[in-house]
Amino acid sequence: MALILCLETATTNCSVALARDGKQIALRELNSKQYSHAEKLHVFIDEILKEQQLEPTALDALAISKGPGSYTGLRIGVSAAKGLCFSLDIPLIAIPTLDLISHRIKVIEGFIVPLMDARRMEVYSAVFNPEFEQVRDTKAEILEENSFEEYLSQGPVHFIGNGVQKFQEICNHPNANFHIQEFPSATEMCGIAEEMHKKSDTVDVAYFEPYYLKDFIAG
């Protein structure tokens, strides 16, 4: 059975989970208005391993939420992941952040559209079917009244994520369902990471970079 440490740092939610055979056995997370990753991430990792009476050498792999998301949060998470993978000589699994957000709800029909806040009226978005298969590429886009009309015209669409409120204010379509303030969590990483580990679906630790989607602009 694989023992996988999962790190999610793409938003203000600093989240760490430990999974055994795809099942979460421990979780630490803190979602505040300020990014706490630099202070809390390694503390959470240490607390989880001690709680389970495990040494880092017991880990079979490490999973990271690869973005898009916060530049600072992603860099802190990926740096921590790379350091552990190098020192422990274990593989690194990279999971798209919007994929994780889509797994926070379950629907039987229609579409799931995770929306991550990207400042002003812009969001990072993707479209998934009820089986969590991605049916539209990940984009950085400015929200307008007729955004996602192609999917809304087909049936129910479930919008989820910390960018949902922006769209709720301008969208009045009867097929739109809004799930506000759902942040990605390491909890959803556990099962996905296990399946990817079984397939040896890993990334090169030396060359892996977060998926920023947009260039960094200093403000």
pLDDT in the model for residue 28: 97
Per the omega criterion (within 30 degrees of 0), is the bond before 68 cis?
yes
Q: Is the model's pLDDT at 218 over the cut of 50?
A: no
Other residues' Cβ atoms within 10 Å of the Cβ of residue 177: 17
pLDDT tens digits, 131-190: 999 999 999 999 999 999 999 999 999 999 999 999 999 999 999 999 977 789 999 999
Q: How far apart are CA 144 and CA 112, in angstroms?
A: 18
Residue 15: partners with Cβ closer than 8 Å, 6 or more residues away: 7, 8, 9, 27, 28, 29, 31, 184, 185, 186, 187
Q: Is the model's pLDDT at 219 over the cut of 50?
A: no
Per-residue confidence at 214, pLDDT binned at 50, 70, 90? low
pLDDT in the model for residue 38: 92
Of 145 and 1, more confident: 145
Biggest alpha carbon–alpha carbon distance for the chain: 53
pLDDT in the model for residue 217: 44
CA dihedral for 65, 67, 72, 75, sign (positive or negative): positive
